[in-house]
Amino acid sequence: MRSSEADQVLRTMLLEGGVDLDQPTVKDVTRAWEVFQQFAAIPAEDVAENPDSDGVLAQHGVGDWGDEDGRHFYLDLTRQFGEQGGESLSQLSCALIFEALPELEQLQSSSLWSFDLEPEEFWSRANQLPGVEQVLALEAQPRRLRIEFGQL
């Protein structure tokens, strides 16, 4: 896969994994997380050959990005690609957006990069982020799934 194809590859994998991209359900939270883990294991052909050129960021928090979501809680997985030559970075973000429930608002924002971690260790830690655990415990209903690809 080339990094420029990542958006379409992820969308296809999510659909094949049973994730409803338009109206995600409670079950889609776990499905999307699992599919992204599989997606992250697919080599990117056009990234630089160094350990920091292809990584995953798992994060959660409360935000208001000035759009239709207003104040919300998000669970986000982002894959970052460093292009060969080191001139630019691109990122593909897959964020589940939730109502900012009091139980979620009280959580501190948290983030974890995969750099310097073995994949198994990264995903084990990512699955234990407080926001992930709380969303699953509450069986919180996502408002929507946001997938965005962009250059940094």
Between CA 56 and CA 37 the distance in angstroms is 9
* Per-residue b or e along 80-105, where b marks 16 or more CB atoms closer than 10 Å to that residue's CB: bbbbeeeeebbbbbbbbbbebbeebe
All structural domains of the chain with their residue ranges: 3-151
- pLDDT score for 85: 64
Question: How confident is the model at residue 50, as a pLDDT?
Answer: 77
pTM: 0.92
- Among left, alpha and beta (phi > 0; psi -120 to 50; other), residue 139 is left
Per-residue pLDDT in tens (0 to 9) along the chain, 152 residues: 998 899 999 999 999 999 999 999 999 999 999 999 999 999 998 887 777 789 999 999 999 888 888 899 999 999 999 876 667 889 999 999 999 999 999 999 999 999 999 999 999 999 999 999 999 999 999 999 999 999 88
Alpha helices in 2-118 (DSSP H): 6-16, 26-40, 102-105
CA distances 124 to 56, 68, 112, 147, Å, are 13, 33, 11, 23
